[in-house]
């Protein structure tokens, strides 16, 4: 069923909530300029910029109601929305806690002013949100119709969902999930069932993530990988059999047999589908043979609820990071690495990383933390022949050491991050942004502090930033 959802980063929500509910039991106002994401799942409005209306200056006594946004404030913010192709949402608060709705005065005000606002913002949509402390209602206006908003999702370390009123008690989950639902409840299991998860890369790390989220009971997985299985992948790709990459053909000294072996080798996403369906026959699975760098494939992740980056090219990092911030989708990058001294062959380091990325400033943006390197992006954009001519030292054709147990360290941390975020189990005292790095040789996990730049083109608040723009900006992909 299609839903209408408003998504807002945790930091912005906290600022808005503090303004609406300062403890004076009075009414306060604001406006949010929002991007838009439309897909087969429904419509998402994506909070990009918050405009606080100052009491007595921009939120003033109304002529027909208790309070209203001043004409100058509305003109300034609606003009900003029009110039930036964003949706205008007027906000105010009511009393109460777990249920809320618009008053007759509110609805009459919408009828008077919103058709004009739709024209000012060049077609809208425009809307209104009304808050109680633990509830939210919304009304959306376009030139052709008026419709309600179903829910708000606060995207943070712990997701929070707000509705117009109390939710019905969820049904008892399938008996196979009974033990895990003792941890996060039937409501948590219902959240997982409704979730759509993206996995970029279905190799050693991605295949682990794929099986685990399927066993948790998620409703839908979109997995993207262009590769077929090779015999050397068999020890690390979950669910792979020797028939998925027949070594007696692939490694044959006869060219014809090698070609035949490659032809009959299985795509990694097909193996992933087989594993996920075995774990959860009801799961909806879209295994895409393709690259996240292609816009058509990347756009299939724009309405997901969480994205796992399990590929390690700079281009995949760039597109992943853009998706997280442009569409307000939390994600996590996972990897493991074994570095070796070329002269001696000695191991110099072994580490695994789990890098959560939330769509807000200080959320772990890969761009801010210099994990997307321009020279590597340029290198990856070249053909194999061009790379040889430029004599790059790092040969992408040479495989690094890789072991399933190392992959499992980062993958387990990442899937727990996903699970605890979605069902709200993270300790609120540990909300600060930060990556996690495991050093298996030292038998320790350490926290890596994150950086943040206001001028960032992904998470920053500047005009050219992609944050919250949704469909009204282009992803850094090949069209």
CATH number of the domain within which 66 lies: 3.40.140.10
Residues 28-47: tens digit of each pLDDT: 999 999 999 999 999 999 99
Residue 29 φ/ψ, nearest 5 degrees: -135, 165
State whether 144 and 193 are in the same domain: no
Q: Is residue 247 part of a domain?
A: no
Residue 188 φ/ψ, nearest 5 degrees: -65, -40
State whether 132 and 211 are in the same domain: no
State whether 188 and 132 are in the same domain: no
Q: Is residue 7 part of a domain?
A: yes
Residues in the chain: 479
CATH number of the domain within which 210 lies: 3.40.50.720
State whether 212 and 312 are in the same domain: yes
pLDDT for 382: 67
**pTM attached to this predicted model:** 0.94
Q: How far apart are CA 244 and CA 171, in angstroms?
A: 39
Q: Is residue 479 part of a domain?
A: no
Our CA angle for 434, 439, 440, nearest 5°, is 135
Q: Is residue 111 part of a domain?
A: yes
Beta pairing, strands 59-61 & 42-52 = unpaired
Tokens 């790390």 -> residue: 205
- For residues 409 and 441, the answer to whether their CB atoms sit within 8 Å is no
Tell which of 162, 186, 208 closes a domain: 162
- For residues 36 and 469, the answer to whether their CB atoms sit within 8 Å is no
State whether 292 and 433 are in the same domain: yes
Q: How far apart are CA 351 and CA 339, in angstroms?
A: 9
- Give the residue among 234, 230, 394, 246 at the shortest CA–CA distance from 312: 394
State whether 363 and 392 are in the same domain: yes
Helices and strands (DSSP H and E) totals, the chain: 13, 19
State whether 212 and 71 are in the same domain: no
State whether 137 and 272 are in the same domain: no
Per-residue pLDDT of the chain (479 residues; tens, 9 = 90+): 799 999 999 999 999 999 999 999 999 999 999 999 999 999 999 999 999 999 999 999 988 889 999 999 999 999 999 999 999 999 999 999 999 999 999 999 999 999 999 999 887 799 999 999 999 999 999 999 999 999 999 999 999 999 999 999 888 788 899 999 999 999 999 999 999 999 999 999 999 999 999 999 999 999 999 999 999 999 999 999 999 998 888 888 889 888 888 888 999 999 999 999 999 999 999 999 999 999 999 999 999 999 999 998 999 999 999 999 999 999 999 988 888 888 888 888 898 999 999 999 999 999 999 999 988 887 787 665 554 444 433 444 556 678 899 999 999 999 999 999 999 998 875 556 689 999 998 889 998 989 999 999 999 989 999 999 999 999 999 87
- For residues 422 and 306, the answer to whether their CB atoms sit within 8 Å is yes
pLDDT for 432: 60
Tell which of 110, 140, 162 closes a domain: 162
Q: Is residue 262 part of a domain?
A: no
Q: What is the tally of structural domains in the chain?
A: 2
Q: Is residue 378 part of a domain?
A: yes
Q: Is residue 210 part of a domain?
A: yes
Domain span at residue 359 reads: 175-227+267-448
Q: Is residue 169 part of a domain?
A: no
State whether 78 and 125 are in the same domain: yes
pLDDT for 77: 97
- Give the residue among 335, 207, 326, 216 at the shortest CA–CA distance from 273: 207
State whether 88 and 210 are in the same domain: no
- Give the residue among 444, 359, 327, 340 at the shortest CA–CA distance from 399: 340
Residue 350 φ/ψ, nearest 5 degrees: -135, 125
State whether 190 and 220 are in the same domain: yes
- For residues 3 and 42, the answer to whether their CB atoms sit within 8 Å is yes
State whether 284 and 377 are in the same domain: yes
- Give the residue among 236, 235, 244, 238 at the shortest CA–CA distance from 213: 238
How many C-alpha atoms does 408 have within 13 Å on its Cβ side?
Answer: 9
């Amino acid at each position: 069923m299609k839903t209408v959802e408003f998504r807002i980063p945790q930091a912005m929500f906290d600022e808005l909530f503090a303004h609406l509910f300062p403890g004076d039991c009075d009414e306060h106002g604001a406006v949010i300029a929002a991007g838009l994401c439309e897909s087969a799942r429904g419509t998402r409005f994506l909070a990009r910029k918050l405009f606080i209306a100052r009491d007595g200056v921009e939120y003033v006594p109304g002529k027909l109601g208790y309070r209203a946004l001043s004409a100058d404030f509305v003109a300034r913010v609606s003009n900003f929305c029009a110039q930036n192709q964003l949706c205008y949402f007027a906000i105010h608060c009511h009393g109460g806690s777990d249920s809320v709705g618009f008053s007759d005065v509110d609805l009459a005000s919408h009828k008077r002013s919103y058709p004009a606002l739709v024209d000012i913002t060049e077609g809208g949509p425009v809307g209104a949100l009304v808050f109680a402390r633990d509830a939210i209602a919304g009304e959306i206006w376009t030139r052709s119709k008026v419709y309600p908003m179903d829910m708000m999702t606060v995207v943070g370390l712990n997701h929070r969902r707000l509705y117009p009123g109390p939710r019905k008690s969820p049904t008892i989950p399938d008996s196979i999930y009974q033990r895990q639902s003792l941890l996060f409840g039937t409501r948590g299991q219902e959240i997982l069932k409704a979730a759509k998860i993206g996995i970029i890369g279905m190799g050693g790390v991605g295949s682990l993530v794929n099986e685990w989220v399927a066993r948790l009971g998620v409703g839908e997985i979109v997995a993207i990988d262009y590769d077929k299985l090779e015999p050397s992948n068999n020890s690390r790709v979950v669910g792979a059999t020797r028939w998925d990459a027949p070594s007696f053909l692939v490694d044959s000294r006869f060219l014809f047999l090698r070609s035949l072996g490659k032809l009959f080798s299985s795509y990694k996403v097909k193996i992933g589908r087989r594993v996920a369906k075995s774990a959860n026959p009801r799961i909806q699975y879209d295994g895409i043979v393709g690259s996240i760098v292609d816009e058509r494939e990347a756009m299939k992740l724009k309405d997901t609820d969480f994205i796992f980056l399990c590929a390690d090219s700079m281009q995949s990092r760039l597109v992943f990071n853009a998706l997280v911030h442009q569409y307000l989708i939390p994600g996590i990058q996972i990897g493991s690495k074994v570095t070796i001294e070329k002269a001696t062959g000695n191991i110099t380091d072994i580490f695994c990383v789990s890098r959560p990325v939330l769509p807000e400033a200080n959320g772990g943006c890969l761009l801010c933390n210099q994990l997307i390197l321009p020279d590597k992006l340029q290198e990856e954009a070249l053909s194999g022949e061009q790379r040889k001519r430029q004599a790059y030292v790092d040969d992408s054709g040479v495989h690094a050491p890789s072991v399933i147990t190392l992959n499992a360290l980062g993958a387990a941390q990442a899937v727990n991050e996903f699970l605890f975020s979605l069902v709200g189990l993270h300790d609120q005292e540990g909300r600060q942004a930060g990556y996690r790095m495991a050093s298996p040789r030292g038998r320790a996990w350490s926290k890596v502090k994150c950086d943040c730049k206001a001028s960032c083109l992904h998470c920053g608040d500047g005009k050219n930033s992609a944050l919250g723009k949704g469909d009204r900006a282009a992803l850094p992909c090949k069209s």
